[in-house]
Amino acid sequence: MSKPWKIVVVGAGAVGGAMAVKFAAAGHAVGVLARGAHLQSIRHSGLCLEDPQERLCVEVQANEDLAAFGPQDLVILGLKAHQIAPILPQLRPLLRMDTVVLPAINGVPWWYFHGDSSTYAKAADGSTAHLQSIDPDGRMLADLDPAHLVGCVVHASAEVVSPGVIRGNGQYRYVLGEPTHQITARVQSLAALFGAAGCDPQVTPRIRDAIWMKLVGNATFNPVAGLTRARMNAICDNPELIEIIRAGMAEIMGLARAYGCDPLVSIDQRLDIARGIGPVKISTLQDLERGRALEIAALLHAPLEMARCAQHPMPTLQLLSSLLGELDRQACAH
């Protein structure tokens, strides 16, 4: 192996924690930001990843203070999209000029219009546009220089089953790409890093296409899972639910094309991908069962805001957003 990377994973939950284990097992110097029982378990017994192929347990540096880690080669944001804004100013002690920040998040990212050349990428004053539903005052773009960012679309299902223990389905596929649509040396280095750690990386010059392809599933299956409490396989086996999901997928694919993007798959192909995931609990259902705030803004509010801007009707997505939003409000009230 070449020189080990210094990597910090901000949020060692299901997605971030799985990455942390893979990289630490490959010999890299990995730190994780964690809290509570999860932090204590990681410090005492290490961080473990179980999947159908193996069980990996690794020692990592674990802390609840980002400043304790020092400058890094790679910072992975494994938080939920709505948790990222307050963290961005805290990343400064971790950043050198060449540090890569990799947000491994669902939905439309706050940096979506950085480096974009579509009709809607510029605000009226000529600055980079930002989505009010995700970044109301543009602070997120201001708090982290977007030159650090590389896009990441996660195709991996996992769940924290107990403090310090993550269970995955054995799929660790990550699509990596520059927001500026270039194939750069740093993206190729990232792909080599992921590949050597036993993951399945894919480099693309069209990261927004990959974002929409994932969103086609997330914005439909996730709210349905939250509203019905059903696992992925149960949803796929229910023809009535699949008809709702088909309608939502058609709306999102049309919106992607309105923004100059290709969703990469047909509805039937996207449904086949979902069926291949197996009997997993989708992240929205995991959050609901744990009493956490739901990831609605990036998955539903942002595409609906983009749809209004493009005058693209999305009645199915609006319905799912309204229903899931009320469920979220009731859960948070308790």
Contact between 252 and 259 under an 8 Å Cβ cutoff? The reply is: no
51-55, 223-227, 314-318 — which is least confidently predicted?
51-55
Q: In whole angstroms, how far apart are CA 178 and each of 171, 199, 205, 264?
A: 23, 19, 7, 18
- Please compute the mean of the pLDDT values over residues 20-25 and round it to a whole number: 98
Q: In whole angstroms, how far apart are CA 133 and each of 261, 295, 297?
A: 21, 12, 6
Give the start-to-end residue ranges of the domains of the chain.
6-205, 208-333
**pLDDT tens digits, one per residue of 238-292:** 999 999 999 999 999 999 999 999 999 999 999 999 999 889 899 999 999 988 8
The answer to whether residue 68 scores a pLDDT higher than 80 is yes
Token pair 């107990």 in the structure block, residue = 162
DSSP-based helix, strand, coil % in the chain, nearest 5: 45, 15, 40
- Residue 110 backbone dihedrals phi, psi, to 5 degrees: -60, -25
The answer to whether residue 331 scores a pLDDT higher than 90 is no
Amino acid symbol at 128:
T
| Mean pLDDT for all residues in the chain | 95
Q: In whole angstroms, how far apart are CA 300 and each of 146, 191, 265, 327?
A: 23, 29, 20, 14
- Closest of 215, 216, 225, 283 to residue 79, by C-alpha: 283
Q: State how far the Cα of 18 lies from the Cα of 165, in Å rounded to an integer.
A: 9
Q: State how far the Cα of 82 lies from the Cα of 295, in Å rounded to an integer.
A: 7
CATH topology of domain 6-205: Rossmann fold (3.40.50)
Residue 212 has a pLDDT of 98
* Catalytic (active site) residue 214: yes
Residue 123 has a pLDDT of 86
Q: Are strands 55-58 and 47-50 parallel, antiparallel or unpaired?
A: antiparallel
Amino acid symbol at 125:
D
Among residues 6, 22, 214, 281, the one annotated as catalytic is 214
Residue 241 Cα to chain centre, angstroms: 24
Report the b/e string of 132-167 with b at 16+ CB within 10 A: ebbbeebebbebbebebbbbbbbbbbbbbeebbbbb
Q: State how far the Cα of 220 lies from the Cα of 66, in Å rounded to an integer.
A: 34
- How many other C-beta atoms lie within 10 A of the C-beta of residue 246? 16
The answer to whether domain 208-333 has CATH 1.10.1040.10 is yes
Tell if the pTM clears 0.75, that is, is over it: yes
Strand segments (E) across the chain: 6-10, 29-33, 47-50, 55-58, 61-63, 74-77, 100-103, 151-155, 158-162, 165-168, 173-177, 200-203
Give the pair of three-digit tokens for residue 278: 């197996």
Q: Are strands 165-168 and 158-162 parallel, antiparallel or unpaired?
A: antiparallel
Residue 174 has a pLDDT of 98
The answer to whether residue 1 scores a pLDDT higher than 80 is no
**Could you tell me the pLDDT band of residue 117, with boundaries at 50, 70 and 90?**
confident
Residue 278 has a pLDDT of 86
Give the pair of three-digit tokens for residue 304: 């609906």
**Could you tell me the pLDDT band of residue 151, with boundaries at 50, 70 and 90?**
very high
**pLDDT tens digits, one per residue of 2-12:** 789 999 999 99
Give the pair of three-digit tokens for residue 155: 């195709």
